[in-house]
């Protein structure tokens, strides 16, 4: 059995040439985000955005929850893949970053599908559960502060409906998950959620060595 193919710069360029379909609106938002402090590291790869859109379209979901908006590249990708009556709720700690993406959402004609919730994400999600949103979403994408990943995961499982997907980003976390010297809160949070998902009999799981690690979780 062949091992995983290492994707260096040349091979990644090949993949982009034959797979990536990033239009001008997405490209402009990605390039603008890359110029922000920490922007290049924090935003999803273009390939990952396309993959998220693929998942939304392939599963036929109409309700998406995103935990961690940043400038809204992934938000835009998923919102475009929704049907016209679909809805995407996205959570961020500040209005500063989603405000950057808002113009691009408008230009793409999907701003009416996007509901931005600003505040501490755990509190936002808890309030959604209190308001009766359990089992409401077909797909939940987790890409926020890593220290709180275990809590986000548990809340996501209550908000996603049976048969729905929870997509967890950065589950390889720049390779720090296998570095015994890395004991910061973010790395510990990612390690904990990885172990929790592995042992969770409520779900089916597949960890993909794509981008910075993407774990697909299907609630049984």
How far is Cα 151 from Cα 158, in angstroms, rounded to an integer? 11
Token digits of residue 200: 């969770």
Q: How confident is the model at residue 165, as a pLDDT?
A: 98
pTM more than 0.85? yes
> Closest by alpha carbon to 15, among 23, 26, 7?
7
User: Which pLDDT tens digits describe the chain residue by residue (220 residues)?
Assistant: 568 888 888 999 999 999 999 999 999 999 999 999 889 889 999 999 999 999 999 999 999 999 999 999 999 999 999 999 999 999 999 999 999 999 999 999 999 999 999 999 999 999 999 999 999 999 999 999 999 999 999 999 999 999 999 999 999 999 999 999 999 999 999 999 999 999 999 999 999 999 999 999 999 9
User: What's the pLDDT at 162?
Assistant: 98
Q: Which pLDDT value is given to residue 8?
A: 86
Q: What is the rounded radius of gyration, in angstroms, for the C-alpha atoms of the chain?
A: 17
Q: What pLDDT does residue 190 have?
A: 98
152, 139, 220: which is closest to 186 by C-alpha? 152
pLDDT given for residue 175 in this prediction:
96
The two counts, helices (H) then strands (E), for the chain are 9, 7
Tell me the domains of the chain and their CATH numbers. 9-219 (3.40.50.150)
SS (H, E, C) 37-101: CCHHHHCCCHHHHHHHHHHHHHHCCCEEEEECCCCCHHHHHHHHHCCCCCEEEEEECCCHHHHHH
What is the predicted pLDDT for the residue at 81? 98
pLDDT of residue 127: 98
pLDDT at 11: 92
């Amino acid at each position: 059995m062949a091992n995983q193919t290492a994707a260096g710069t040349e091979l990644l360029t090949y993949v982009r040439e034959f797979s990536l379909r990033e239009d001008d609106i997405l490209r402009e938002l990605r390039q603008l985000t890359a110029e922000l402090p920490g922007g290049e590291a924090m935003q999803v790869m273009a390939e990952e955005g396309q993959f998220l859109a693929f998942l939304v379209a392939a599963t036929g979901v109409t309700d998406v929850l995103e935990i961690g908006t940043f400038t809204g590249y992934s938000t835009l990708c998923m919102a475009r893949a929704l049907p016209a009556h679909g809805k995407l709720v996205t959570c961020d700690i500040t209005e500063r970053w989603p405000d950057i993406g808002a113009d691009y959402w408008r230009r793409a004609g999907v701003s009416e599908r996007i509901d931005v919730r600003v505040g501490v994400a755990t509190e936002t999600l808890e309030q959604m559960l209190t308001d009766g949103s359990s089992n409401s979403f077909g797909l939940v994408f987790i890409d926020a502060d890593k220290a709180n990943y275990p809590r986000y995961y548990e809340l996501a499982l209550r908000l996603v409906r049976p048969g729905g997907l929870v997509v967890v980003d950065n589950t390889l976390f720049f390779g720090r998950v296998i570095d015994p010297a890395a004991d910061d809160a973010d790395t510990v949070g990612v390690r904990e959620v990885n172990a929790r998902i592995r042992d969770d009999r409520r779900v089916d799981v597949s960890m993909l060595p794509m981008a910075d690690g993407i774990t697909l979780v299907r609630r049984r």
